[in-house]
Structure 1
Amino acid sequence: MDDLSPSDLKAILHSKRANLYYLEHCRVMQKDGRVLYLTEAKDDNHYWNIPIVNTTVLMLGSGTSITHAAVRMLARAGVLVGFCGGGGIPLYMGNEIEWMTPQSEYRPTQYVQGWLSFWFDPEQRLATAKSLQQRRIEFLRQVWSKDKDLRAEGFHADDANIQAALSHCEQRISSTEKASDLLLAEAQLTKALYKYAAGQTKQVNFIRDHDSTDRANAFLNHGNYLAYGLAATTLWVLGIPHGFAVMHGKTRRGALVFDVADLIKDALVLPWAFICAKENATEQEFRQQCLLAFTNHKALDFMFDQMKELSLRGEVEIDAKAEETKS
């Protein structure tokens, strides 16, 4: 393993990696050139391999520890590591979205430079926030239109209530003049989606409460943190600091993670949280369903594509103006 260079460990692009791990009550270590986690049984111990070259995020829950050698190998492979509470929530470090990020001097610079080229302009920052919200709605329409499993559970993009809620939100997005209004429009849309999902899955008197222990709320919390892991990975690989948010930054540091995670949360996490709650699924079953949905709908690819496009939008506009000048 010592003969491998860090570039060899990053052969699989992050946007194409398949695994995101949540571990609890175990010890993560390096053994024989691999990263393993050890679970202690009554009579013997069990070692399980973590395929680090095909992993984006490792979330360490209650009762976990990790060795220095394992962290070094995870960093070489470009895997993000986060410490969190039971069930994946909350992420520690002051309950903010913070990660042990691998260090690399060779990440691309064009994306952070493109992002910062407009970020200090409030109007362009708001325009980018609007674009993220519009793309979020488009992704929801796309997923709910073609996902046979969701449609079988009663989630339809062409439902009259959903169409009305999405159209109303789009109108609000286009007319907003400040980020706080955009946050309000987002909250109203999500509230309408909660109501719809609760109705489709016969969840009576559902109220969104982050501290509640009912299955739907717990699954929403857990699934959202999985989405935050993908968002954090996207930003780290592109080299964009988490603090340069366009919508949530007024209330939280590192809030660009929240902005990016919004792209997929409503489309994928929200419906499956309610469906799995209705079916009395275990936490592990819900997590597996979430990760399957992320994979089937290429959620990480979608995040990368949107952030790359938005980051380089300034370059595209400059090139367009240059072409107009020439003509």
Structure 2
Amino acid sequence: MEQLSDLKAILHSKRANIFYLEKCRVMQKDGRVLYLTEEQNEKQYWNIPIANTTCILLGTGTSITQAAVRMLASAGVLIGFSGGGGTPLIAANEIEWLSPQSEYRPTEYVQGWMSFWFDDVKRLKVAKRFQQCRLDYLHRVWHKDKDLQNAGFYIGDVDTERALALFSSQIESCLSTAALLLIEAQLTKSLYKIAANRTKQPGFVREHDSEDDANAFLNHGNYLAYGLAATTLWVLGIPHGFAVMHGKTRRGALVFDVADLVKDTLILPWAFICAKEQMSEQGFRQQCLQNFTQHKALDFMFETVKTLSLESH
């Protein structure tokens, strides 16, 4: 059986896997975590490499044993329960996720976070930094990703440059979080329009309950990003409720703030591209996970949150 030290050998910021499972049973067997599927009277076991996994989403028709949860917790893997296709997120603790109960996590980052969070002016300043980091990441990724460029998403495109430049110029002039949220929503709306035009899907309207592929992929991809964000915050020991952008009345709002660092860059364009190509949900999910790894999304989340918390402290 693997030792606890072995399970935590891979840093969370370097882990590559997110699992969405449905119609299966997750269990512990011979010191490993497996999921069992039944295909036409044949049972098949599949291994989950928990030491290289950030989080697991359990969809419809799933069950999990106590022994499996214990092993996942020992490896620092977060667990969430969701509906079909990864949305909506139904259950969890810490708002979005069942978090491993380890008390041996760093305190310096939450101390740094608390040093500014109760000051409205300082919190708004950090919120603005979040948005600028988000823009920098989009510029960096879209500038070098050949697949995105071939699909029409690139830095230098007139519409894209206009939308990004307008957002960037408005960030510093915002006097409240509400004003910042408003221009952020306008940016995302502009990117939706650009994506719909580039992939020839005119008339697109963002509706969370809509059944068209683009909306479904956006929902699903966003929840994958939430998994990365929740992992980042848990590892750094920062409670999910201390948001800088999203509503203070939502306990898990900081998860949404951190996920926003990569959603427009990696989820939004690929949701439209995959919808145009009529890819399956599984194909889209694999594309998202590949993007997370290729562009070091988890590393970027960790570094951004660590930098902002320590700078403020």
Q: If the length of structure 1 is used for normalisation, what is the TM-score?
A: 0.94
Q: Which residue of 1 aligns with 2:173?
A: 175
Hey, what's the Cα distance between the residues in 2 that align with 1:167 and 1:270? 18
> What residue number does 1:134 align with?
132
Native 8 Å contact 1:97 1:257 kept in 2? no
Q: Deviations over 1:225-261 (max 9, x none)?
A: 0000000000000000000000103352210000000
Q: CA deviation at 1:96?
A: 8.9
**Distance in 1 of aligned mates of 2:62 and 2:186:** 38
Q: Deviations over 1:277-317 (max 9, x none)?
A: 000000000000010011000000000000000010134xx
Structure 1 gap segments, 5+ residues each: 316-327
Matches within 5 A, 1:218-237: 218-237=216-235
Is the 1:231–1:260 Cα contact (8 Å) retained in structure 2? yes
Percent of aligned pairs sharing the same letter: 70
Query: What is the match of residue 325 of structure 1?
Result: none
In structure 2, the gaps of 5 or more residues are none
Match of 2:75 in 1: 77
Partner residue of 1:189 out of 184, 187, 190:
187
- AA of the residue aligned to 2:244: V
Alpha-carbon distance, 1:42 to partner: 2.2
What code does the residue aligned with 1:295 have?
Answer: T
Contact 2:56–2:80 (8 Å) recurs in 1: yes
- Structure 1 residues 156 and 95, CA gap change in structure 2 (3 angstroms): farther
Q: 2: distance between equivalents of 1:168 and 1:129?
A: 17
Could you tell me how far 1:97 is from its partner in structure 2?
4.2
Q: 1:26 aligns with which of 21, 24, 27?
A: 24
In structure 2, C-alpha distance between the alignment counterparts of 1:188 and 1:312, rounded to whole Å: 30
- 3-state SS of 1:248 partner: coil
1:93 deviates by: 3.0
Backbone CA RMSD of aligned residues: 1.3
Which of 304, 307, 318 aligns to 2:305? It is 307
Q: Distance in 2 between matches of 1:23 and 1:157?
A: 36
CA distance in 1, matches of 2:266, 2:136: 13
TM-score scaled by length of structure 2: 0.98
Counterpart for residue 112 of structure 1 = 110
| 2:56 aligned with 1:49 | no
Q: Distance in 2 between matches of 1:314 and 1:164?
A: 31
Deviations 1:20-48 (A, max 9, x none): 00000000000011000000122220000
